[in-house]
Amino acid sequence: MGLLSASEARQVGDLLAGMAKEVHVRLYTQRLNCGGCLDTERILAELAGLSPRISLEKLNALTDTAQRESDSIEGVPAIIVSDGTHNRVRLYGTPSGYEFSTLLSVITDAGSDKPVIEPATSDFLAALDRDLVIRVFVTPTCPHCPRAAVTAARLAAACPGVRADIVEAGEFPDLSRLYGVQGVPRTVVNEKLYLEGAVPEAAFVRALSGALPSLDSLEGPRDLLSFLDAAGE
């Protein structure tokens, strides 16, 4: 018996049927010390069974160490979604609840042959002169988390200089403590900029545009939206 009901499977299958390109999904999993790995394997296997355009590769994080190190994987379960040419969009944790919708959005974005980012975002990424690591902490019960997570994933998919790590906060408590997560979604950019809550893609990019020129001079964490406030946005 599948995790999705028959009607849910039909709806998801219809959504995936709209993809024009093949999507490569790489899953890092292990049997020891990973409470969410088995469920994540089952979820991805079920999705792959609903679309011939999804290519699923399953790796063991304990034995496939060369590839794991190449992908800079920090824990399991970990999912990389791409067109097969990069490893910049990663999801850590079991994609349940609202995070299942995030996974679906990331997959269908990767399979789209049409632009999924706004023109202003494309302009921002084309002019980007530094690498960005965007971490978005989420939980399965948070209805606002998918917006923040998908925005980060779209920027990473569109630009070789951007990486997005979408982290299920409850499954990775050490990372959550390290990045000061007290509520979700919490977005952290290059260890210095943070954002509480979800904002539209355009506002996120405008804030980044205002923040990046002074990023190196920041002495401590800074609220990303303060760069919008200063501009009177």
Lookup: tokens for 32 = 């020891």
Mean pLDDT of the chain: 95
Amino acid symbol at 181: V
**Same structural domain, 135 and 231:** yes
**Same structural domain, 3 and 47:** yes
**Same structural domain, 68 and 8:** yes
Residue 102 lies in a domain: no
Lookup: tokens for 215 = 């990023």
What does the pLDDT look like over 159-194, one tens digit per residue?
Answer: 999 999 999 999 999 999 999 999 999 999 999 999
**Same structural domain, 78 and 121:** no
Give the end of a domain, one of 32, 65, 83.
Answer: 83
Give the end of a domain, one of 59, 83, 107.
Answer: 83
Residue 92 lies in a domain: no
Residue 108 lies in a domain: no
**Same structural domain, 59 and 156:** no
**Same structural domain, 149 and 192:** yes
**Same structural domain, 120 and 208:** yes
Give percent of the chain with pLDDT exceeding 70. Answer: 97
Helix (H, G, I), strand (E, B) or coil at 50: helix
Residue 36 lies in a domain: yes
Total domains, the chain: 2
**Same structural domain, 122 and 225:** yes
**Does 218 have pLDDT greater than 80?**
yes
- 80-90: average pLDDT: 96
**Same structural domain, 78 and 140:** no
CA atoms within 13 A on the CB side of 233: 18
CA nearest 118: which of 150, 85, 82? 150
Give percent of the chain with pLDDT exceeding 90. Answer: 95
**Same structural domain, 122 and 216:** yes
What does the pLDDT look like over 187-216, one tens digit per residue?
Answer: 999 999 999 999 999 999 999 999 999 999
CA nearest 214: which of 121, 130, 122? 130
Residue 89 lies in a domain: no
Residue 26 lies in a domain: yes
Rounded distance between C-alpha atoms, residue 114 and residue 17, angstroms: 15
Residue 93 lies in a domain: no
Residue 3 lies in a domain: yes
**Does 233 have pLDDT greater than 50?**
no
CATH number, domain with residue 8: 3.40.30.10
**Same structural domain, 142 and 59:** no
Domain span at residue 50 reads: 1-83
Give the end of a domain, one of 83, 107, 125.
Answer: 83
**Same structural domain, 128 and 216:** yes
**CA dihedral (198, 180, 99, 193) positive or negative:** positive
